[in-house]
Amino acid sequence: MQAVEKAIKEKARALLADGTVDRVLGWEKGEYCYDNTPAVFTEEDIDRLVYNSFCGANLSKYLIAESKKEGRVLALLKPCDTYSFNQLIKEHRIDREKVYVLGVPCHGIADVEKLNVKGIKGIESIAEDGGRLTVQTMYGEKECELNDVLLERCLSCKGPEYMAADDTVEDPAPVELRKHDRFGMVEKLMQMTPDERFEFWRSELSKCIRCNACRNVCPACSCLKCVFDNDASGVSSKANVDTFEENMFHIIRAFHVAGRCTDCGECSRVCPQGIPLHLLNRKFIKDINENYGEYQAGADDSSPWPLVSYTQDDVEPGKMEGGKN
């Protein structure tokens, strides 16, 4: 990825120099080797830009604010980020003219939590060599395969193609597309009895601390004021005061992004309690695919999404299979 980072910086410098763009939206190196933060750079500080297997944050949502500012911004988008970008263009949230999209290749994003679960803790530095990570920790050197510690979303990678890009950085060593059953866990849940499913979701959702990270990071959650922040709605709450609220928040949030969710997986990435929120979104995606035709949100920037269209012979409510009974 070092070669890619170098190429990104070269392209960015050239675009800044010839005035095509005024600033660059990318990731800045953090305190450690893995905690990169989204940041905006200009010619002076573009050296601080970093690109590696820990640039997980999907930058497309920042473009809502960035494209409202003066000048043009160069946005570094990984292939899966371009889906979110397209969806936001479709919803007229981003001014396309003010964004120059540079597609950057991705080999999968590593999940530090998964490293920890593998017993790799006290991380001091991480060296990437092909698909292998060599981790120096406070407790000795550890090794693992990038493929074993990928974020959930990367296991069902949508592929290396960019859905929107003004220019791209070439991938010097493309990796094979990971073949993972995207709906495997959803199907497994559907095969359970209703009691087991209820138990599964209770134990997951009861962990929720209502920090709203899933909502705030979600590129599809772009309402100026969320219903859960509206006192007058009667549903606004800052804590899960009752088990009902744990369910309600997540059902409504998943429903509100149904058909618009690109399955970028940011919700599951940021959840401090590790709730597999993507399993809610994927259920909707699966239902949509099976009943209204295959649909990938963000694959284009203009087609109407499934919940704003209909056919005369759509399936009747209650006939769609939510799970075994």
Partner 1 sequence: MQKIAMDRISEFYSAMAAERALYLPLKKRGAVNFGRWQEGADVDIDALHTVKSPKDLFFPQSEDIVAFKMKGKEIEIDAPDTPDEPFAVFGVRACDARAMEVLDRVFLSEPVDTYYRARRENGVVITLACTAPEETCFCSVFGIDPAQPGGDVSTWLSGGFLYLKAVTEKGEAFLAGLTPLEEANDAEIEPAVRALEETMERLPLKDLDLTGIDGNATEKLFGSEQWAELSRACLGCGTCTYICPTCQCYDIRDFDTGKEIRRYRCWDSCMYSDFTRMAHGNPRKSQVERFRQRFMHKLVYFPANNDGMYSCVGCGRCVAKCPISMNIVKVAKALGAEARK
Partner 2 sequence: MQIEKQETGEFKPLIVAFCCNWCSYAGADLAGTSRLNYPANVKIIRVPCSCRVNPLFILRAFQRGADGVIINGCHPGDCHYSTGNYYARRRMALLFSMLEYLGIEKGRTRVEWVSAAEGQRFAQVMNEFVETIYHLGENKRLEDLRCKR
Which stretches of the chain bind partner 2, using CB under 8 A? 186, 189-190, 194-202, 227, 233-235, 241-245, 247-248, 251-252, 254-255, 258, 280, 283-284, 287-288, 291-292, 306-308, 310-312, 314-323, 325
Give the residue, chosen from 229, 289, 299, 301, that forms a contact with partner 1 under the rule CB under 8 A.
229
The 3-state DSSP composition of the chain as helix, strand, coil percent (nearest 5) reads: 40, 15, 45
What residues does 135 pair with on adjacent strands?
126, 142
CB 207 within 8 A of CB 273: yes
- Segment (H or E) for 190: helix 184-191
Give the residue, chosen from 19, 140, 159, 234, that forms a contact with partner 1 under the rule CB under 8 A.
234
Closest CB to partner 1 among 126 and 288?
126
Closest CB to partner 2 among 138 and 308?
308
Alpha-carbon distances of 97 from 1, 27, 70, 166, 303, rounded to whole Å: 29, 22, 11, 11, 20
- 319 makes contact, choosing from partner 1, partner 2, none, with CB < 5 to 8 Å by partner type, with partner 2
Residue 273 engages partner 1 in binding (rule: CB under 8 A):
yes
- 283 makes contact, choosing from partner 1, partner 2, none, with CB < 5 to 8 Å by partner type, with partner 2
Alpha-carbon distances of 159 from 66, 169, 277, 281, rounded to whole Å: 27, 15, 22, 19
Residue 232 engages partner 1 in binding (rule: CB under 8 A):
no
Residue 123 engages partner 1 in binding (rule: CB under 8 A):
yes
Beta strands at 23-28 and 73-77: parallel, antiparallel or unpaired: parallel
Closest CB to partner 1 among 194 and 272?
272
Give the residue, chosen from 138, 159, 294, 313, that forms a contact with partner 1 under the rule CB under 8 A.
138
Residue 233 engages partner 1 in binding (rule: CB under 8 A):
no
- 138 makes contact, choosing from partner 2, partner 1, none, with CB < 5 to 8 Å by partner type, with partner 1
- 272 makes contact, choosing from partner 2, partner 1, none, with CB < 5 to 8 Å by partner type, with partner 1
Residue 231 engages partner 1 in binding (rule: CB under 8 A):
yes
- At 97 the three-state DSSP class reads helix
Alpha-carbon distances of 55 from 27, 37, 106, rounded to whole Å: 7, 8, 9
Judged by CB under 8 A, the chain residues 167 through 226 that form the site for partner 1 are: 203-204, 207, 209-213, 215-217
- Segment (H or E) for 199: helix 194-205
Local structure of residue 70 (DSSP, 8 states): S
Q: Tell me, by CB under 8 A, how many residues bind partner 1.
A: 43
- At 319 the three-state DSSP class reads coil
Residue 64 engages partner 1 in binding (rule: CB under 8 A):
no
The distance of closest approach from Cβ of residue 132 to partner 2 in the complex, given in angstroms and rounded to an integer, is: 38
The distance of closest approach from Cβ of residue 60 to partner 1 in the complex, given in angstroms and rounded to an integer, is: 13
CB 74 within 8 A of CB 21: yes
The sign of the CA dihedral 217, 220, 190, 203 is positive
Alpha-carbon distances of 234 from 205, 224, 229, 230, 249, rounded to whole Å: 21, 18, 10, 8, 12
* Max CA distance (Å), the chain: 64
Both tokens of 297, joined, read: 């949100």
CB 264 within 8 A of CB 83: yes
- 160 makes contact, choosing from partner 1, partner 2, none, with CB < 5 to 8 Å by partner type, with none
Both tokens of 114, joined, read: 């998964």
Site string for partner 1, 29-58 (x = CB under 8 A): -xxx--xxxxxx----------------x-
List of residues contacting partner 1 (CB under 8 A): 30-32, 35-40, 57, 62, 112, 117, 121-124, 138-139, 203-204, 207, 209-213, 215-217, 229, 231, 234, 237-241, 269-270, 272-274
